[in-house]
């Protein structure tokens, strides 16, 4: 069965179960499906209703499904859960997912929650929360399988069975001494293939590739990818095993880092959440800050041109601001295109969202265009002879940024609809289109204004 | 032990072993290290020497190490191997790695090789080669573990043991009927935890999330990442199991697709190999094609401006080509920056390569700048009154493209040396810098030329 068609098929069923308050069916929904599939369907509901569904299964299943929901949704959902139910749920979550959630919650809510948790969980959380963001420690889990070196394979298998229910993976088993120093590594495959009376010491690999708890998460993810590991052990500076990072979290890191690099390349300050989950004011800030910096650079260009064309020298004053006007539109367009192309590639936006996206981008374009226009007028006044010339620059910047924002967002969606790879519609091509339209706007606005003032 | 420090430590040892022709030590080198580590060290040697090292171990280990080498290196290495040794090696490779290699070899070499292989391998290769590039079929392996539904857990464990040596993973076991239809899925964890006399039919999950053999590889990779799978089963249109895609190949696809999107965003036609492994003529082509397309768009801008400023109208003819000149430099700069930032992020270039990179980029800048300059002159001649004006545009485009290319490549390297994230040095910022310098070049070249001709 195809994963991505699940939710369109299951959502109407789920709504009906809720309407009929069909407890056993709701329990079945939570427990029979892969938690990732259940999460995908629940995401389409509001958080209160999603929690209503989850109350029909045990805290273990709740925690599993919760781990597959996007973080902003998790935070909202958790707010609608009361005392003991919340405590049980948090205790059941895997340590790495739990810490990700707690880091995003209000500090007061976390402070209120921590004392209610069991001691073991509490100290585990405190420790994981203490590692710097983007370090190996911040993405690792403490639920690894470990064994001493001197036991036999058949003993090992017995012990792995006991550890299994609470461990993130049992396919890699780490061999440690009584002080938790990492001594070796053995895969479950090796254990299963070995003679029952062999010892782990005979079986284990002793040159274990590991990472340090303060290593950068990107380094960790690349090591896992390079060696095709299912998990990599994380050690402290005395080579004591403190956790493992699993392949799935490594893949998330790789995607996250690539997404961030792409956003930086498109002059967007990296977003914490996905495009559609990021509110417009946050987007305006993450984009605006770079547009302003780049406007400063364009002002420098205008200033340099002013040396060559002479201040206010007839029609040539327009040449001064031509690069500034076109760059503003091009940058805004490349920001929109970057975010929308990513949203399409990461499958976080269905094409049905096109109208919603368009509305957001028009709003953003107006905000960003308005802000940049005011700044441009102030800048232009220092370089031109007549204030109407500065007004021409301001009005053009406003319109060009608005146009760039909307065109940059809509073209990739249009291309996707036509079945063309939206990434092919590369940013510079959008910039080129914005250039042509920008020139037409600029010169026409100047003409009309000049005629009006003279 | 840190993975990435391995090769700097091991390379001198290996060279000494080779000098002393120390057979047992070379065998130990191949067999005791993780194959990914051995590959990393061998990559530093020339292919003939690398093969000399590999002759000291068996074809199984050779195949494992080979799979961790970059594809262009694999292709070269394979060329230096003779008849039966090559056949054994190819037979031992995992089916997905093998097909990746064969797809990159000369068709004649493949045609010569195929008849020498065992029948089973040959038909497996033919089948995998027949799937379209970038499809699930092209990245899957046929070495999956599968069992019938009606056996007990203890039987299953026995059979898994037998299958293990030749299977890519045994942690996920697929349940199939006699016609290979996919009926269920059971993890090794479940098998180990279950009672020995339970049957797989009782244990297995029947709603198996799978992909189709003709699904896009990106879709496959995202499904694996979404559900945190170690592997996903691949079925044909009759739901018959034909292969599996494993998490490590999925991670490679995610990185590859993100890299390609980033290159497209930076106006570079996606490279097949890494930046340093791509020869300069290929780079010139992959970059030049987009620069020419974008030059066409800039010509359109110039044409539109010509309507407003009037043909050859004194100093204003320069405004016509101002966006074209600046965009050429900006685009070339953003291409270089994109490739170099990626090379740094993917750890494929040490900072010690800076001189080599600089040399390559100067060469590229000269090639691309020269080509674009000629085209610009031709274009400009259609819009200006005097041919010296077209020459000004051509010379400026040459210098600006050269400068953009070199600045775009060197700035990220400089930032990395200063300990700043090179991706922060976002492309538009480079474009802004190129703008200022471009303006200075443009107006000065125009002044000098005008003085010379009048």
State the ipTM, two decimals: 0.85
**CATH homologous superfamily, domain B3-130:** MgtE N-terminal domain-like (1.25.60.10)
Of B251, B292, B295, which to mutate for an interface test with A (greatest number of A Cβ within 10 Å)? B251
Domain B144-246 coded CATH 3.10.580.10:
yes
**Dihedral through CA B409, CA B411, CA B417, CA B421, nearest 10?**
-100
For chain B, residues classed under CATH 1.10.357.20 are 266-453
Distance CA A249, CA A258 (A): 14
Q: For residues A247 and A182, is the Cβ–Cβ distance under 8 A?
A: no
**CATH homologous superfamily, domain A266-453:** SLC41 divalent cation transporters, integral membrane domain (1.10.357.20)
Distance from CA of A118 to the nearest CA of B (A): 27
Q: Can you list the alpha helix ranges (DSSP code H) found in A194-279?
A: 200-203, 217-227, 247-265
In sequence order, what are the beta bridge partners of B232?
Answer: B245
Please tell me the predicted confidence (pLDDT) of residue B348: 65
Q: For residues A226 and A247, is the Cβ–Cβ distance under 8 A?
A: no
Distance CA B131, CA B258 (A): 23
Tell me how far apart the 2 most distant CA atoms of chain B are, in Å: 100
A162 lies within 8 A of chain B by CB: no
For B225, the closest of A248, A309, A315 (CB atoms) is: A248
Q: Which helix (H) or strand (E) element contains residue A156?
A: helix A153-163
In chain B, the percentage of residues whose pLDDT exceeds 70 is 95
Distance CA B198, CA B152 (A): 5
Q: For residues A297 and A323, is the Cβ–Cβ distance under 8 A?
A: no
Q: In whole angstroms, how large is the CA radius of gyration of chain A?
A: 28
Please tell me the predicted confidence (pLDDT) of residue B393: 95
B323 lies within 8 A of chain A by CB: yes
CB contact under 8 A, A435 and B297: yes
Distance CA B128, CA B243 (A): 10
What is the tens place of the pLDDT at every residue in B208-243?
Answer: 999 999 999 999 999 999 999 999 999 999 999 999
Neighbours of A355 (CB within 10 A): 8
Q: For residues B401 and B366, is the Cβ–Cβ distance under 8 A?
A: no
Q: What angle do CA A291, A439, A399 make, to 5 degrees?
A: 50
The string of DSSP letters for B289-344 reads HHHHHHHHHHHHHHHHHHHHH-TT-GGGHHHHHHHHHHHHHHHHHHHHHHHHHHHH
For chain B, residues classed under CATH 1.25.60.10 are 3-130
For chain B, residues classed under CATH 3.10.580.10 are 144-246
Please tell me the predicted confidence (pLDDT) of residue B265: 84
In the numeric block, which tokens belong to residue B230?
Answer: 């170690």
A120-to-A62, A84, A116, A129, A168 alpha-carbon distances in Å: 20, 17, 12, 14, 17
Distance CA B200, CA B196 (A): 10
Please tell me the predicted confidence (pLDDT) of residue A348: 65
Please tell me the predicted confidence (pLDDT) of residue A431: 76
Q: For residues B15 and B42, is the Cβ–Cβ distance under 8 A?
A: no
B13 lies within 8 A of chain A by CB: no
B211 lies within 8 A of chain A by CB: yes
The string of DSSP letters for B390-423 reads HHHHHHHHHHHHHHHHHHHHHHHHHHHHTT--GG
- Select the highest-mean-pLDDT range: B21-25, B118-122, B164-168, B284-288: B284-288
Residue of A nearest to B163 (CA): A193
Instruction: Over range B96-120, report the average pLDDT.
Output: 88
What rounded mean pLDDT belongs to chain B? 89
Distance CA B440, CA B444 (A): 6
Those residues of chain A that have pLDDT short of 70 are 1-8, 310-315, 348-352, 425-428
Using a CB-CB cut-off of 8 Å, the residues of chain B touching A331 are 428
For B207, the closest of A1, A188, A266 (CB atoms) is: A1
Range scoring the smallest mean pLDDT among B253-257, B337-341, B417-421: B417-421
Positive or negative: CA dihedral A118, A121, A124, A129: negative
Please tell me the predicted confidence (pLDDT) of residue B2: 45
Q: Between these two residues, B6 and B201, which has the higher pLDDT value? A: B201
Please tell me the predicted confidence (pLDDT) of residue B349: 60
Q: For residues B186 and B159, is the Cβ–Cβ distance under 8 A?
A: no
- Which residues have C-beta within 8 Å of that of residue B171, sequence separation ≥ 6? A171, A188, A189, A230, B187, B188, B189, B230, B231
What is the tens place of the pLDDT at every residue in A5-46?
Answer: 556 678 888 888 888 888 888 998 888 888 998 998 898 888
Reported confidence tier of residue B111, pLDDT bands at 50, 70, 90: confident
In the numeric block, which tokens belong to residue B21?
Answer: 């022709």
What is the tens place of the pLDDT at every residue in B46-95?
Answer: 888 999 999 999 889 999 999 999 888 999 998 888 888 888 999 899 98
- State the fold for domain A144-245: CBS-domain (3.10.580)
Distance from CA of A308 to the nearest CA of B (A): 7
Please tell me the predicted confidence (pLDDT) of residue B173: 95
Distance from CA of B215 to the nearest CA of A (A): 10
Residue of B nearest to A208 (CA): B1
How many helices (H) and strands (E) chain A has is answered by 21, 6
């Amino acid at each position: 069965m195809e994963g991505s068609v699940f939710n369109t098929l299951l959502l109407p069923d789920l709504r009906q179960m809720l309407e009929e308050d069909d407890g056993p069916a709701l329990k079945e929904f939570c427990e029979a499906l892969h938690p990732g599939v259940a999460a995908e369907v629940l995401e389409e509901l509001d958080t209160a209703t999603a929690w209503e569904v989850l109350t029909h299964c045990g805290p273990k299943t709740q925690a599993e499904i919760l781990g597959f929901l996007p973080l902003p949704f998790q935070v909202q959902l958790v707010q609608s859960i009361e005392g003991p139910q919340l405590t049980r749920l948090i205790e059941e979550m895997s340590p790495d997912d739990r810490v990700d959630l707690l880091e995003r919650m209000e500090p007061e809510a976390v402070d209120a929650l921590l004392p209610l948790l069991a001691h073991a969980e509490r100290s585990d959380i405190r420790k994981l929360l203490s590692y710097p963001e983007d370090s190996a420690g911040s993405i690792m889990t403490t639920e690894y399988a470990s064994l001493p070196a001197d036991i036999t394979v058949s003993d090992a298998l017995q012990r792995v069975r006991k550890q299994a229910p609470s461990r993130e993976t049992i396919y890699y088993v780490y061999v440690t001494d009584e002080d938790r120093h990492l001594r070796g590594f053995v895969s479950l495959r090796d254990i299963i293939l070995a003679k029952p009376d062999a010892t782990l010491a005979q079986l284990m690999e002793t040159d274990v590739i590991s990472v340090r708890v303060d290593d950068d998460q990107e380094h960790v993810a690349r090591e896992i990818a390079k060696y095709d590991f299912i998990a990599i052990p994380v050690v402290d500076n005395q080579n004591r095993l403190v956790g493992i990072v699993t392949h799935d979290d490594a893949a998330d890191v790789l995607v996250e880092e690539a997404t961030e690099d792409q956003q930086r390349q498109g002059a967007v300050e990296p977003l914490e959440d996905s495009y559609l989950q990021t509110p417009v004011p946050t987007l305006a800030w993450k984009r605006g800050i770079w547009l302003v910096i780049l406007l400063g650079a364009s002002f420098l260009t205008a200033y340099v041109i002013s040396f060559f064309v002479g201040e206010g020298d007839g029609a040539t004053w327009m040449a001064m601001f031509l690069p500034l006007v076109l760059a503003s539109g091009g940058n805004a367009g490349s920001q929109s295109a970057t975010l929308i192309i990513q949203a399409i590639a990461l499958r976080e936006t269905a094409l049905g969202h096109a109208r919603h996206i368009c509305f957001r981008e028009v709003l953003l374009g107006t905000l960003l265009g308005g802000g940049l226009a005011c700044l441009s007028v102030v800048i232009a006044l220092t370089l031109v002879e007549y204030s109407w010339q500065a007004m021409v620059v301001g009005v053009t910047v406003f319109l060009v940024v608005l146009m760039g924002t909307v065109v940059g967002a809509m073209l990739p969606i249009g291309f996707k609809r036509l079945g063309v790879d939206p990434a092919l519609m590369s940013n510079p091509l959008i910039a080129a289109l914005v250039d042509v339209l920008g020139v037409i706007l600029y010169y026409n606005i100047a003409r009309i204004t000049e005629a009006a003032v003279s």
